[in-house]
Structure 1
C-alpha cells in the first residue's frame, strides 16, 4: 500500500477516534474503507496494465452501399378511379339487381331498360316536328304568294313613279326657261328705260340747240337784211316753223318709247309672272303625287314574311328538331343501357333493380381494381417525411406490393381523436386480383435514401455532449474519432464525415475500450 493511501487511513482513523464512536461501529467502517482502497488500487493497476498490454479487439470495416430510412405507418386500401353511374332516362329497369362486390369486365352490360314509353315519346316527338315543319312551310308559301303580288304592284307603281319623274323633270325645265325669258325681258326693259332717258336728254339738248341755232341764224340774216333791206318777218317765220317741226319729231319719239315701256312693264307684271306661278303649282302637284306613290311602294314591300317572323319560324323548327333529337337520343341510350367502362368491382348499389329509374338518379358505383392506392393519415408532426415520389413497401394481408407516394394534402385536418393529421395516398404499382378494397394495409415508406453511402451498425456509434464518435485502431493504438451522421435506419447509421471506407472501427460494446490503449485488430466476420 502506498504512503499516501496509508496517510488517508490514518486520517480516517483519527476522525473516527475524535467522534468517539463505539467499537462495533468503527470496525465495520474501517473494513469497508480498506476494501474500497484495494478495489481502486486494482482498477488503477488494471488500467495501467491495459495501456501497457496489447489486447485483441474485434473491428469492422465501414460499409459502402445504399442506405435508406423508412417511416412505418398504416392505411386503408382504396381505388383511385371510382365512378357513380346515373340513369340517362326515365324508364323501368328490366335487368336483375346488382350486388355489391360483383366483379365486372369492361363492356359488360350492367343495367337494361324497358323502352316502350321512350319509343312512344319518340314517335310523338317526330310527329310534332313534322307538324311544325308543315305549318311553317304553309306560312312560307302564303307569304311567297303575297310577296309575288306585292312585287307586281311595286313594278306598276314604279312605272307610275317614272312617268311622274319625267313630268316633274319637264315641268322644272319649263319653269327654268320661263324664268330665263323673264330675266331677259327685264334686261330689255332696263335697256329701253336707259334709251328713253337718252332720248329725253337728246330732246332737251336738241330744243336748246335749235333755239340757239335759230337765234344765231336770225341774227346773221338780220344783219344781212339790214344791209340789203329785206323783209325780216318772213325769215323768222320760216325758222320758227322748222324748229317746231324738229321738236314735234322728238316729242313723237319720246311718246313711242314711253308706250313701249308701258307695254313691257305690263307684260312683265302680269302674264309672265302668272305663267311661272301656274307652272310652279303644277310642279308641286306632280311632286306630291310622286311622294304618295313612294308611300304605296313602301307598304307593298312589307308584304310577305318579316325578318322577325322568319326568325321565329326558324327557332320553332330548331326547337322541334332538338326535341326530336333529344327523344331519339334518350331512346338510343335506353336501348343501349349501361355498360361497365372499365374492369372493376361494384362497391355501392343505389337502385336495387326491378323499379323505375329516374333520369339523373344514381344507380351504382364502380371502382377500378387496376388503379389501387392506400390512403394514409400521418401525424402533422411527421409531414416533413412525406415527399412526392418516395418509394413504399406495402403489405395487404399476406401479400406484399410496391408503391409510390403520389399525393399529399396541403392542409391538416382533425381526425376522430382530435389530432391534426395530413392525408396522403400511395399508388400500388403492381396491383393484382388478391387486393380487396377497404381493407387495412401496412406501409413502410422510404423517407430518405442515399446511394454509395458509408454507414456503420448503430451499436458501434457512441454519443456524448460534444456529438457522435467511434473508436478506431490505428497502428495498434485505440483512437477516438468524431463523426457526422446522416440517415438512421435504426440498424445502421450513415457516416457523412469523419471516416473513410478503409477505417477499422472497434466493435466492442462492453465499455472497457479506452482511448490510447494498445490493441490488435481482429476483423469481425459479418453476420
Structure 2
C-alpha cells in the first residue's frame, strides 16, 4: 500500500508540474515519417517547444529529486516507460553498388574467304538488330559460289561413272551372283559350247564322209570320166540320165539300169550337201552356241564392270561429303551476299577488319555486346550473404534512370577484393534494359532481401545483449522480468523477434542500466 501511495504522489507531482508550466511546455508524441514509410513500427519522439526548453529542464530536475526522495527507501519502486508489443512488417534492403556489363558478347568470324567491301561500324557504336556491320566484294562471292557448284557436279560424275548405263545392263546378267559364281558359270558355258561344237563337228564329219563315199560311187559308175557338164552328149534323148559306155568303141552298150543308178547317186550327193548346210539338229546346236556365247559375253562384261564394295562405299562417301561441304559453303556465301548483320541490339566493342582486306574463312572480324541482355556484378560480404537469394527483386539506378532487376546468380566460391576481404560475386539481371544503358558504368542497387509481414518487430535500442544472448526487459505484474529472445530479420534500426515475446507484452523502453530482474517498477508513460 505504501508503494502505491508513493506512486500516486509521483503522478500528482507530475500533474502539478504540467499545470505549473501551463502553455509554456507542450509535450506531444510524433510518429517518424521515414519509419512509417518503411513499414516499421512508429517510435514515439518527444519534442519540446524551443522557447520553453529551460522551463522543461527545470521541471524534470524537480521531478527527479522528488522521485529520489520518495523511493529512497529499501523497497523503492522505479518509474519506467514501456511500449506494448505489436506486430508489423519488416524488410531488409541491402544497398550495394556494382558494374554494368552485358551478359552476352558475340564475336563474328568470317564464314567465307573473300575481300571486305565496306565496314559500317567503329568501336563504341550502338547498333540495332539487323543492321549491316560490314559487306564482302560481290564478284568474289559469285565466283566462290560457282566453284562450289562445280565441285558438287564433279563429285557426282565420278560416283555415277561407276554405274554407267552399259555397265548396269551387263551387271543384270550377274545380279545376285558373287565373283566366284560368275567365274563358275563362265567355265560351264565354255564347256557347253565345246560340247555342242564337238557334236556339230562329229555329225558334219560323218556327213562329209558320206558325201565322199557317194562321190566315189559316182566316179565308179562313170568310169569313162565324163564330166557332168559333158554328159548331155551321151543322153539318148533323156536329160535326166547320165550313161556310161561298156563298149569303148560305140554307144550301143548304154543301158537303162546304168542311167537310173547314176541318177540315184547324184540325188544322194545333193541330199547330203543340203543336209550339211541345213541339218535341223546342227542348226539347233548352233543356236544354243549363239545363246551361250551371248550370255558369256554379258557375264564377262559384268565381271569387268563389277564394283569392289570398298571402292563403291568410298566413292559414295566422297560424293556425299563433297555435296554436304559445298552446299554448306553455298549457303554461307548466299548469306554473306546480304552482308554481315547484327543479331541483337548492342554496342560494338572491337573491330578487327579493314576495307579491302581479303579474309580467310574463320578470321575474327567484329565483337559486340548485347544491350538486350544486361547484368550488374556486385560483391557481397559474408555478413550480407545469408540475406540474399536468387530471385530477389532489385531497384536499380543507372545514370540517374531507374530500372528493375532481380538476383540471378550467386557464386559458389568467395574471392578477395582489393582490401583482402572475402566477398562473393553476385549477378543482378536487368529485366527492362533499353538503349540508354552505358556498359561499364556504376549502378546503385537496392536489393529487397529478407522480408516478413505481420510479425513482432522491435527497435534495436530496446534489445539488450550479454554473454548468454539477446534479451529484453518487460513489466510482468509490476516487476521487471527478463525475456530471452530469438531474432530473425534485422536492419540497421529494427529487428524481428521470432521467439520470446508475445503480442501485448510491455517492453521497458526507458534506461535499463539501473534495473534488475525482479525489481518493482511503476509504468510512467508520458
TM-score normalized with structure 2 length? 0.56
Matched-pair contact (CA < 8 Å) for 1:147–1:303: no
Find the aligned partners of 2:327 and 2:158 in 1 and give their Cα distance: 19
The answer for the alignment partner of 2:410 in structure 1 is 408
1:519 aligns with 2:522: yes
Cα separation, partners in 2 of 1:433 and 1:133, compared to 1, 3 Å? closer
The answer for the alignment partner of 1:364 in structure 2 is 366
| Bigger RCO of structures 1 and 2 (CA < 8 A, at least 6 apart) | 1
The answer for the alignment partner of 1:59 in structure 2 is 82
1:454 deviates by 0.5
The answer for the alignment partner of 1:213 in structure 2 is none
Total equivalences in the alignment: 356
1:91 corresponds to which of 114, 129, 135: 114
Alignment of 1:299-378 (within 5 A): 301-308=302-309, 309-353=311-355, 355-378=357-380
1:456 deviates by 0.7
Cα separation, partners in 2 of 1:154 and 1:137, compared to 1, 3 Å? farther
Cα separation, partners in 2 of 1:415 and 1:164, compared to 1, 3 Å? farther
Greater CA radius of gyration, 1 or 2? 1
1:498 corresponds to which of 484, 497, 500: 500
User: Where is the helix percentage greater, Structure 1 or Structure 2?
Assistant: 1
1:479 deviates by 4.6
Find the aligned partners of 1:464 and 1:147 in 2 and give their Cα distance: 102
Q: Residues 50-73 of structure 1: CA distance to partner in whole angstroms, max 9, x if unpaired?
A: 975785x54333342332334443
1:489 deviates by 0.6
Q: Secondary structure at the match of 2:413?
A: coil
Find the aligned partners of 1:450 and 1:50 in 2 and give their Cα distance: 46
1:423 corresponds to which of 419, 422, 425: 425
1:468 corresponds to which of 464, 467, 470: 470
Cα separation, partners in 2 of 1:324 and 1:398, compared to 1, 3 Å? closer
Superposition CA RMSD, Å: 4.2
1:425 deviates by 0.8
Find the aligned partners of 2:450 and 2:370 in 1 and give their Cα distance: 31
Q: Secondary structure at the match of 1:73?
A: strand
1:122 corresponds to which of 145, 159, 162: 145
Find the aligned partners of 1:47 and 1:361 in 2 and give their Cα distance: 93
Find the aligned partners of 1:409 and 1:53 in 2 and give their Cα distance: 57
The answer for the alignment partner of 1:246 in structure 2 is none
Find the aligned partners of 2:174 and 2:468 in 1 and give their Cα distance: 111
Matched-pair contact (CA < 8 Å) for 1:460–1:509: no
Cα separation, partners in 2 of 1:102 and 1:61, compared to 1, 3 Å? farther
Structure 2 gap segments, 5+ residues each: 1-64, 176-181, 197-294
Alignment of 1:106-121 (within 5 A): 106-121=129-144
1:102 aligns with 2:125: yes
Q: Secondary structure at the match of 1:302?
A: helix
The answer for the alignment partner of 2:454 in structure 1 is 452
Q: Secondary structure at the match of 1:435?
A: coil
TM-score normalized with structure 1 length? 0.56
Find the aligned partners of 1:68 and 1:59 in 2 and give their Cα distance: 25
Alignment of 1:288-307 (within 5 A): 301-307=302-308
1:86 deviates by 1.8
Q: Residues 208-231 of structure 1: CA distance to partner in whole angstroms, max 9, x if unpaired?
A: xxxxxxxxxxxxxxxxxxxxxxxx
Matched-pair contact (CA < 8 Å) for 1:146–1:303: no
1:478 deviates by 5.2
1:480 deviates by 4.3
Q: Residues 321-344 of structure 1: CA distance to partner in whole angstroms, max 9, x if unpaired?
A: 345424422321221322222223
2:92 corresponds to which of 57, 66, 69: 69
Find the aligned partners of 1:46 and 1:464 in 2 and give their Cα distance: 32
Cα separation, partners in 2 of 1:88 and 1:484, compared to 1, 3 Å? same
Matched-pair contact (CA < 8 Å) for 2:410–2:425: yes
Cα separation, partners in 2 of 1:452 and 1:317, compared to 1, 3 Å? same
Matched-pair contact (CA < 8 Å) for 1:76–1:439: yes
1:419 deviates by 4.7
Cα separation, partners in 2 of 1:161 and 1:320, compared to 1, 3 Å? same
Structure 1 gap segments, 5+ residues each: 1-40, 167-293
